[in-house]
Structure 1
Amino acid sequence: MSKRVSFQHSRRPSLSRVRGAVVAAGLGTSMVLGAGAAFAAGPAGVPGTASLVDSAAAESVAVQAAAQGKAAKAAAAERAAAEKAAAKKAAGWETPVNRYVLSASFGSDGSRWAHKHSGQDFAVPVGTRVEAAHGGTVVKAGPNGGGDGPAYGNAVVIKHANGLYSQYAHLSRIDVRIGETVKTGEKIALSGNTGNSSGPHLHFEIRRTADYGSAVNPVSFLHKEGVRV
């Protein structure tokens, strides 16, 4: 007599049921979070997922590249402006001191001068930095007005390419020597109170020659050169 052998169904869920549960879970996620979130979290290999990620990454890189390019252009423009300003400063004129109070003016009368005042006085404390008002070559430097007389005290005279000369007097210290080439804005001395002076100041002249007696109005000259005094 043959025996019947019965087989019980396994308690393990079938593969089709597992797949069905996964699909159901995916649909549930889609309903709660939205199709975009479920799609992004979907299994690998789903068409379109990789392309969306790549597109977002490419867009981020493009934004960063644009920002860096804009910053680079701004930096280049700033450098160009600084170079242009430096070139203009080197080619132009400036006041011999930066912070000052105008005192005795060109052509003024006074007991301290044999004739009318030959320059513009800039009232500044002793030891103030004195700069070359324009590039040129030092032709006078020393006591006794650099050769123009004791009334000027310590003085410097610079010859410029346009044929004019600038003079700086009553100095406490001279930092250049005859024959030296200087640039616009270069330190040439410290202001003082030497010579025939009633108080600390810088006496500044623009001359047609290197010698006393050939001065022109320095403020008017600087105004023509675009310098605000």
Structure 2
Amino acid sequence: MSPRVTSRSSRTALLRTRAAVLAAGLGASAVLGAGVAAAATPTATTAATTAVSGSAHAVQAQAAAQAKAAELAKKAATAKAAQAKQAKQVKQAAAKKKAAGWVAPVKGYTKTASFAQNGARWQSTHSGQDFAVPVGTKVVAAHGGTVVKAGGNGAGDGPAYGNAIVIKHGNGSYSQYAHLSKVNVRIGQVVAAGQQIALSGNTGNSSGPHLHFEIRTTPNYGTAVDPVAFLRGKGLSI
């Protein structure tokens, strides 16, 4: 064989060897890449799973917070309702206690002639307290008791009183209401404190519409005591 032929054979063999090595390298790279890809896939799946789990926990936490807020609001509403009920009961108890005690005979009044005040329109000194109010103002019993006098002519105490009422109370005192335009009770009737008994007026010896109010030790004229001092002693601001 000639040297030229030998040289060509050698080069061909070298090229084949290099091609084999290159192919082997590419194959190894492909295998390695597949391994890397295969190794990367579980990591991505884990990350996605973690993200979904975190979102679920956030939703659960929000739902729990909303449920807790609703429960607190419910408890607050229940407590408020209980307080309102208690306040109502206290108010009712106070009203009941007041009804069992003494009350002012009229509302929205202006005090005019006072007890023991001198004047030309009554004998000697004034026997009660005058409360100036418009004709038709509601007059109530200052305390619970039994009506012992009612009607015109001062209910028996004289025409100067006009229409009048006298109520006997359990503590041995009597209250008198005069110059009335209308009498709403009768003798023998039992009345409660604060119950309407008449309408104010201007009857009898009166210079203007008002209620003449007395506290007496007997049902008759001449036994009156200071009604304002008496009612203040019962806790009223007159």
TM class, shorter-chain normalised?
0.7 to 0.9
Q: CA deviation at 1:52?
A: 3.9
Aligned to 1:184: 193
Aligned to 1:169: 178
Task: Name the CA distance, whole Å, in 2 between partners of 1:137 and 1:204.
Answer: 17
Q: CA deviation at 1:186?
A: 1.1
Which deviates further from its counterpart, 50-59 or 140-149? 50-59
Q: Deviations over 1:63-100 (max 9, x none)?
A: 03321231122112212221221122112212111111
| AA matched with 2:188 | G
Which deviates further from its counterpart, 149-158 or 89-98? 89-98
Unaligned runs of 5+ in 2: 1-39
Task: Name the CA distance, whole Å, in 2 between partners of 1:201 and 1:75.
Answer: 40
Aligned residues: 200
Aligned to 1:151: 160
Task: Name the CA distance, whole Å, in 1 between partners of 2:204 and 2:42.
Answer: 106
Task: Name the CA distance, whole Å, in 1 between partners of 2:44 and 2:54.
Answer: 19
Unaligned runs of 5+ in 1: 1-16, 31-37, 43-47
Task: Name the CA distance, whole Å, in 2 between partners of 1:49 and 1:108.
Answer: 84
| AA matched with 2:152 | P
Q: Give me the CA root mean square deviation.
A: 2.6
Q: Which has the higher helix share?
A: 2
| SS of 2:203 mapped into structure 1 | coil
Match of 2:204 among 195, 205, 222: 195
Q: CA deviation at 1:182?
A: 1.3
Percent sequence identity is 55
| AA matched with 2:146 | T
Give the TM-score normalised by the residue count of structure 2.
0.75
Q: CA deviation at 1:41?
A: 3.5
Aligned to 1:3: none
Give the TM-score normalised by the residue count of structure 1.
0.78
User: Which segments of structure 1 move beyond 2 Å, counting only runs of 4 or more?
Assistant: 17-27, 38-42, 48-58
| SS of 1:64 mapped into structure 2 | helix
